[in-house]
Structure formats: structure tokens, C-alpha cells
């Protein structure tokens, strides 16, 4: 159990600090505070304007956070490009000077920074660069999973569409039902939560499918259900290669599709309008069945993120999605993941 303070200076919003919010929601570690002087005096729930992190204070800087006696500082954002904001460096150096380990999901590695590495070595603290990839030599072999195991992959229409959240919520519901479920993290936040997984976006493209295959085989041999966190989207102009490697490496037995209800275009790409849900689902089913060819892997449920909508608007959006796709649909944060787990169990019971 770590005692963590999260650094998100000037960036603590649901979208920009999804690493921070994911850890706050799901980590078993104790989250003591979030550093963002623009929200000083509030708690996390007040800063985000959602019911998450009630009672966790927003503090001005690392000096104020140190009064809570943390043992770890976590960087709470993963910006495009993944560089450490220059204005944050002093806070990391102060944390290291006071003996705190540092956890980072940035693309640029703290341990490769001479100043930070030397300071950490002097104080005997750990710099954990979560995205640092393991040795990569495995090309996918298309090896069958253990008979009787169920591998479920979260796919989606965009980044930040709730794929990690849905996988974790399905794992939780599975365990509540007495099923042997496990979560496979493929992104920095999921790895921080589970202390295991693969940093997919730092793997060499030739080895993505092979590394995912190896991990899924390991987990499906040990567990009845494996819920695989998705990344990116097949229709994303920047990140589709990662998504395809994950689909072909995990060779899922079923998929859950994740989508932001209010999205009209790919985030940050206004010239990329969002296809219909039915078309998006078809694209993902086609991609896995290029190699499966048995046609058995289907999207069996739809997870909508309805943030920004009233509860009534959310229910209308869910009903519209169900009517368009014919799939059971829910928002797992607002209404739980039970409907999706029901759909998965029904899918496998009829095979």
C-alpha cells in the first residue's frame, strides 16, 4: 500500500488528467492529495464536479502535500507527446529530496533524465517509468487459448472512450458473481492500478501482437475470464496501428464497444467525423475475423460514456444506441456493468 500524492498542476480535469482520475477511482493505494494550485481549497469531487474523490484535498504544491506524509509522487497526466512539463521539474526534485518514489506514465522516461536520475540515486528512491517496455522478441503465433477460458477485449470509437473503466468494472462484477476474472492492463493508468500489464504504445509494431498474445495466454491459463483493456481505435488517424495489434494479439472471444455519447468527430481531428455506431462495430468485428475466420467473435454489448448529460438525457442516449445497434447498452459508471456481464454470459452459454 503506497501513500500517494498526484501531481496534476494546472491540468486536473476529467479529460486532461484521466491518469489521475483512473487511479483515484480504482487504485488500492491510499491517495492523499492532488497537487493543482488552480483548485486549491477544494476536494477532488468539487474540482471535477463529479462524485469522485470526495474528501481528497486539492493542494497548492509539493510542500503542502508533504505535510500528509506521502511515500510516492505520481504524475497524473499523460499528454499527447508525453513530455514532462518544464514547470513541474522542481516539484519532482523536491519530492525526491524528501525520499518519495516517483511514478510516471509519460512517454519521456524520468530515469533517462540525468538530473532526476542522479537525484534519485543519491536519495535511494525509485523512478518507475510505467511505459518502459519489456524486452521484445515475440512475434504472434496465433496460439489457441485454453478451452473454456473467455477473453473479452474492450474496443472503441476513440481514445478516452472508457475502455479501461469498462474492463475494470466487468472484472469487479465477474468477481461479485463468483467468477474467476482478471484485468489485463495495456496502458499506463491500468498498469499503475494493477501493478502489471503491457505498455502497448511503447512496443515495436512487429511485436505488439506477439507480446499481447503471450500475456493473454498466460492469464487465460490461470483465469476463467480475462478482460483486456483496449487502446485507441481502428478509425483513429494516429493510433489505429496499436489497436489492430491489440485485436490480433488478444484474439478475443467477444468484444465490448466503448463510445462517448456526445462525440461527433475523433477528438482533436475535426475533419474525421464519427461513423455510425453500427459501422464502427462492423469494422471491429471484421478486423478480428480477418484472422479468426470462424465469425464467432462479436461485439456483444455497448458501453456509453454519458458524462455531461443529465440522467434523463443519458437514458435517452442509451435507448437510442440500443435501437440502432440491437445491443444491450449502459453507462457502467452511472448504471453499473451488470447488463454487459449478463450479455457476455449469455453469449458464451449459447456457443
Please, where are the H alpha helices in 75-113? 89-97
pLDDT tens by residue, 248-294? 999 999 999 999 999 999 999 999 999 999 999 999 999 999 998 88
Whole-number CA gyration radius for the chain: 20
The answer, yes or no, to whether residue 122 has pLDDT greater than 80, is yes
**Can you name the residues that pair with 266 across neighbouring β-strands?**
269
Residues with Cβ < 8 Å from 97, sequence gap 6 or more? Answer: 119, 123
- Residue 35 corresponds to which cell in the numbers above? 497537487
CB 259 within 8 A of CB 156: yes
CA separation for the pair 188, 42 (Å, rounded): 27
DSSP 3-state helix, strand, coil percentages of the chain (rounded to 5)? Answer: 40, 20, 40
Per-residue pLDDT averaged across 122-144, rounded? 94
Question: Quick one: CA torsion of 32, 38, 42, 48, rounded to 10 degrees?
Answer: -90
The greatest distance separating any two alpha carbons of the chain, rounded to the nearest whole angstrom, comes to 61
- Residue 350 corresponds to which cell in the numbers above? 449459447
- Residue 73 corresponds to which cell in the numbers above? 509522487
What are the angstrom distances between the C-alpha of 195 and each of 37, 129, 133, 174, 222? 29, 12, 14, 20, 17
Domains and CATH numbers, the chain: 3-129 (3.40.50.720), 150-349 (3.40.50.300)
Model pTM above 0.85:
yes
CB 305 within 8 A of CB 318: no
What are the angstrom distances between the C-alpha of 139 and each of 11, 205, 211, 240, 277? 38, 10, 7, 19, 32
CB 93 within 8 A of CB 75: no
pLDDT of amino acid 161: 95
User: H/E element holding 301?
Assistant: strand 299-305
pLDDT of amino acid 14: 84
pLDDT of amino acid 349: 92
- pLDDT, the chain, mean: 95
Amino acid at each position: 500500500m503506497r501513500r500517494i500524492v498526484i501531481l496534476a498542476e494546472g491540468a486536473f480535469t476529467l479529460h486532461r488528467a484521466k491518469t489521475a482520475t483512473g487511479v483515484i477511482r480504482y487504485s488500492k493505494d491510499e491517495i492523499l492529495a492532488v497537487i493543482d494550485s488552480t483548485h486549491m481549497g477544494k476536494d477532488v469531487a468539487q474540482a471535477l464536479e463529479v462524485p469522485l474523490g470526495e474528501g481528497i484535498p486539492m493542494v497548492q504544491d509539493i510542500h503542502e502535500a508533504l505535510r500528509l506524509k506521502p511515500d510516492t509522487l505520481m504524475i497524473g497526466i499523460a499528454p499527447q507527446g508525453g513530455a514532462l512539463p518544464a514547470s513541474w521539474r522542481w516539484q519532482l526534485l523536491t519530492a525526491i529530496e524528501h525520499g518519495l518514489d516517483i511514478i510516471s506514465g509519460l512517454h519521456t522516461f524520468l530515469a533517462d533524465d540525468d538530473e532526476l536520475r542522479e537525484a534519485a540515486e543519491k536519495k535511494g528512491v525509485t523512478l518507475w517509468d510505467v511505459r518502459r517496455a519489456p524486452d521484445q522478441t515475440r512475434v504472434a503465433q496465433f496460439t489457441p487459448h485454453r478451452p473454456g477460458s473467455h477473453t473479452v477485449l474492450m474496443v472503441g470509437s476513440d481514445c478516452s472512450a472508457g475502455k479501461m473503466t469498462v474492463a475494470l468494472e466487468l472484472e469487479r462484477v465477474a468477481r461479485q458473481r463468483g467468477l474467476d476474472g482478471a484485468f489485463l492492463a495495456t496502458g499506463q493508468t491500468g498498469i499503475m492500478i494493477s501493478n502489471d500489464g503491457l505498455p502497448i504504445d511503447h512496443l515495436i509494431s512487429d511485436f505488439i501482437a506477439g507480446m499481447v498474445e503471450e500475456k493473454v495466454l498466460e492469464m487465460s491459463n490461470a483465469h476463467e475470464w480475462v478482460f483486456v483493456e483496449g487502446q485507441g481505435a481502428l478509425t483513429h488517424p494516429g493510433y489505429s496501428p496499436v489497436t489492430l495489434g491489440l485485436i490480433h494479439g488478444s484474439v478475443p472471444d467477444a468484444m465490448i464497444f466503448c463510445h462517448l455519447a456526445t462525440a461527433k468527430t475523433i477528438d482533436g481531428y475535426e475533419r474525421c467525423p464519427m461513423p455510425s455506431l453500427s459501422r464502427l462495430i462492423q469494422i471491429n468485428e471484421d478486423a478480428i475475423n480477418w484472422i479468426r475466420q470462424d465469425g464467432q467473435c462479436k461485439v456483444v454489448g455497448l458501453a456509453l460514456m454519458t458524462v455531461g448529460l443529465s440522467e434523463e438525457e443519458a437514458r435517452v442516449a442509451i435507448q437510442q444506441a440500443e435501437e440502432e445497434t440491437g445491443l444491450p447498452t449502459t453507462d457502467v459508471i452511472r448504471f453499473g456493468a451488470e447488463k454487459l456481464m449478463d450479455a457476455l454470459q449469455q453469449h458464451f452459454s449459447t456457443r
